Amino acid sequence: MVESVITKRKSVFTQDEKDAVYRAIRERRDVRSGYLLRSLENDILLRLLNAAHMAPSVGLMQPWRFVVVRDAGLRAAVHDNFLCANRKAAVSYTAERHAAYAQLKLEALLDAPQHLCVLCDAMSERGHGLGRNSMPQTAAYSVACAIQNLWLAARAEGIGVGWVSIIDPAAVKTLLNIPSHLELVAYLCLGYVESFSDVPDLERDGWEHREEIVSLVKVDSYDRPLSGAEPCQ
């Protein structure tokens, strides 16, 4: 009994610990500028990747795979890939929105001393298919959860992460000799940074603003908003 109480106490987070977790969540940023030249050492890189590796995964399948891209030629090639994808994306905007889009700084592929290509092996037999019979897409969602773990750990370590989705994933896979059955989930810039912005760049630049969370929450039915709802005991 005493042992059980101790075990329970051990599992409780102090207020300081809670605050630190919320701080990492609140101060995490998608960093697109201010990367320093200093490369990440293997030990800290592995610390971040281990944080990713502790993410939940459907059936414990651990479908995440990582390619660290350090070679300057490869980084420049991915930047070229971005430029091409970005030209295609820009044409979808007209008038003022087009001008605003052209002003945005959307990546730091040449500045960040390393990139991280994050893949999903949905064909892996690890996990024995558990949980994927009805929702196979949960393999890729597990990988996204792993990315968020890495992102929060990086913020705590003073390391910036920037997710670049304006790329042609198939071309990047070819560049890095990635087997065709692996899905490219994310392409990240990664590195020590000068600072972290107070607000997301896209909010600061007037591209988009934050929703009120309450407007996104319903209770028991999608037509029933949270406001006025009380927990039923």
Residues 10-69 that bind a copy of itself (CB under 8 A): 11-13, 16-28, 30, 39-42, 46, 49-51, 53-56, 58-62, 64-69
DSSP state of 209: -
Identify the residue among 32, 112, 113, 122 touching a copy of itself (CB under 8 A).
Answer: 113
Q: What is the spatial distance between Cα 133 and Cα 32, in angstroms, rounded to a whole number? A: 38
Does 76 engage in binding with a copy of itself (CB under 8 A)? no
- Specify which residues 65 forms β-bridges with: 119
Identify the residue among 3, 95, 96, 220 touching a copy of itself (CB under 8 A).
Answer: 220
Least distance in angstroms from the C-beta of 160 to a copy of itself: 11
Q: What is the CA radius of gyration of the chain?
A: 21
Q: What is the spatial distance between Cα 174 and Cα 182, in angstroms, rounded to a whole number? A: 11
Least distance in angstroms from the C-beta of 107 to a copy of itself: 10
25 vs 123 by CB, closer to a copy of itself:
25
Identify the residue among 35, 151, 190, 192 touching a copy of itself (CB under 8 A).
Answer: 151
Identify the residue among 6, 76, 83, 93 touching a copy of itself (CB under 8 A).
Answer: 93
Identify the residue among 1, 3, 94, 231 touching a copy of itself (CB under 8 A).
Answer: 231
Does 232 engage in binding with a copy of itself (CB under 8 A)? yes
Identify the residue among 108, 112, 122, 186 touching a copy of itself (CB under 8 A).
Answer: 186
Identify the residue among 34, 144, 181, 192 touching a copy of itself (CB under 8 A).
Answer: 144
Q: Which long-range contacts (CB under 8 A, 24 or more apart) does 140-144 make?
A: 140/63, 140/183, 140/185, 141/58, 142/55, 142/56, 142/57, 142/58, 142/61, 142/62, 142/63, 142/64, 143/63, 143/64, 143/118, 143/119, 143/185, 143/186, 144/185, 144/186
Within residues 160-179, the interface with a copy of itself by CB under 8 A covers: 163, 165-169, 176-179
**Exposure of 143 in the CB half-sphere (CA atoms within 13 A):** 20
Identify the residue among 33, 36, 77, 145 touching a copy of itself (CB under 8 A).
Answer: 145
Does 112 engage in binding with a copy of itself (CB under 8 A)? no
Class of residue 200 by CB neighbours under 10 A (exposed 0-12, middle 13-18, buried 19+): middle
Q: What is the spatial distance between Cα 106 and Cα 32, in angstroms, rounded to a whole number? A: 6
Identify the residue among 33, 34, 77, 202 touching a copy of itself (CB under 8 A).
Answer: 202
What residue type is assigned to position 8 of the chain? Answer: K
